[in-house]
Amino acid sequence: MSALRRQWLWPIALAASTLIGLLAALIGEGGVWRSLCWVALGLPLATIAVCLLRLRNLPPSARQDPIDRL
Amino acid sequence: MTRRAVRAWVWVHRWSSLVCTLFALLLCLTGLPLIFKDELGPDLKLAATTAPPGSASVDSMVARALAARPGEVVPYLFYDREHPILKVPTAASMTDDPASFHYQVFDTRTGQQIEIPQPNEGFLYVMTRLHLDLFSGVPGTLFLGFMGLLLVVAIVSGVVLYGPFTRRLAFGVVRTDGSRWRTWLDLHNLLGIVTLAWFGVVSFTGVINTLAAPIELAWQANQLVEMAAQAKPAEIEGQRASTDAVLRDVRAAVPGMNVMTVAFPGTPFATPSHVAIFLTGNTPITSRILKPALADASTGQVVSVRDMPWYATALFMSQPLHFGDYGGLPLKIIWALLDAATIVVLISGLYLWWAKRPRRGGAVEAESSAS
């Protein structure tokens, strides 16, 4: 179970965030919903940025750390 | 998952991707400038005025448009979602292909004509046609729809494979201590799984959008005929109600909505004796859902107003989710960045296949990281 969770927690959270963001600005009216849309859809992009930055900043030996510290 | 099941999914993912990759790349690349269609479009140079939108006479605009194009007819009127302008197309006949229309644009507040380049030429037009139908009309659109369907299959099979291929890895780890191929595989998996929901939604709504032509045909064959049958046309020989009067009547009959399109008698979207008026609401969702009204062409009286059928509504609802034009400029920028990420997914996928493809005389390499 923990292996499954480690694998799928982030993908599911990001997919849910994307869908919430897509619908927020579509159904909600007003600035708050728009801001929520930008933040929720910005999360996947932020995730990519964090993973790529980690890739650059870590020495090769640390890159196989099996524990996710994101 | 058994080894055999993984193999089968790998096969599905590989071939569904390979068949559509070049077209998917074309769609992602041409879609990029289309996200910023409004920002890249022509500057309207609208004059400052206190007159409210819609106060100038439409009949006068139509008369001036016809005077400038002797021998032609005006099949439709197009209003704009964002700006107080009316686009008046002229064509040789009421049933001409919209690609051949000549457009004249007017300010709906003052009635002044606005000089802008024809919308069916230039860089954005080429991008639109490549994205929409590869310059080959409805068959081209349906072909791209089929490619989009394969892309949806590729996305689903990719998610299934994400499990076995990343089983021993922490989320988001890109291994750079092995082969270059493995690094690109990890990147492909990371970008693919992170953009999954967005790419899935945009691909799926894109496929729905390609069904616009069959959906229009179904509406014309069923609903339009039923609406026209609700009232016998007056058919007073030679009498035509003024467009201004028709618009006034429609706005009174359907308050709180905006007129988007007017189709004149003889076009495929009206009948020989009715004018069709298509209205929309004011929210991001309702501004996409067209509500048709029919008016008698002789008397100008509104004879029927009804909602579009569910299949047309599904098409309208899927449009904003495909265009990303409903959340201001920040959403467009997010759309473009996610689009760029999916371009990397497509190109890396192509590389992963190319570098691993079976060479003549060489054995097919098994997917070692999945078992």
B37-94 pLDDT, tens per residue? 989 988 888 888 888 888 899 999 999 999 999 999 999 999 998 889 999 999 999 9
User: Among A15-19, B64-68, B279-283, B329-333, which stretch is predicted with the lowest mean pLDDT?
Assistant: B279-283
Task: Tell me: pLDDT of A58 over 80.
Answer: no
Are B149 and B207 a contacting pair, CB within 8 Å?
A: yes
Closest chain A residue to B197 measured between Cα atoms? Answer: A15
Q: What is the DSSP letter of B113?
A: E
Higher per-residue confidence, B337 vs B53 = B337
Over the stretch A9-37, which tens digit does the pLDDT of each residue have?
Answer: 999 999 999 999 999 998 887 789 999 99
Nearest-CB residue to B194 (from A7, A48, A55): A48
Question: What pLDDT shows up at residue B16?
Answer: 96
3-state secondary structure of B263: strand
Question: What pLDDT shows up at residue B286?
Answer: 85
pLDDT, chain B, mean: 91
> Where does the pLDDT of residue A66 fall: very low under 50, low under 70, confident under 90, or very high at 90 and above?
very low
User: Among A28-37, B189-198, B325-334, which stretch is predicted with the lowest mean pLDDT?
Assistant: A28-37
Q: What is the DSSP letter of B116?
A: -
- Domain tally for chain A? 1
Partners of B175 on chain A (C-beta within 8 Å) are 63-64
Question: What pLDDT shows up at residue A60?
Answer: 54
Q: Among B331, B342, B345, B348, which would you mutate to test the A interface (most chain A Cβ atoms within 10 Å of its Cβ)? A: B331
Tell me whether residue A26 is in a domain: yes
CB of A7 less than 8 A from some CB of B: yes
Domain segments of chain B as ranges: 3-39+125-211+324-356, 58-116
Q: Which two tokens stand for residue B78?
A: 């197009």
Task: Tell me: pLDDT of A57 over 80.
Answer: no
> Where does the pLDDT of residue B359 fall: very low under 50, low under 70, confident under 90, or very high at 90 and above?
low
CB of B168 less than 8 A from some CB of A: yes
Higher per-residue confidence, A63 vs B164 = B164
Domain of residue A36 covers 2-57
> Where does the pLDDT of residue B200 fall: very low under 50, low under 70, confident under 90, or very high at 90 and above?
very high
CB of B190 less than 8 A from some CB of A: yes
For residue A23, the surrounding DSSP H or E stretch is helix A2-27
Model confidence, pTM: 0.88
CA–CA distance from B310 to each of B90, B94, B230 (Å)?
32, 28, 21
CB of B191 less than 8 A from some CB of A: yes
Are B138 and B168 a contacting pair, CB within 8 Å?
A: no
Tell me whether residue A70 is in a domain: no
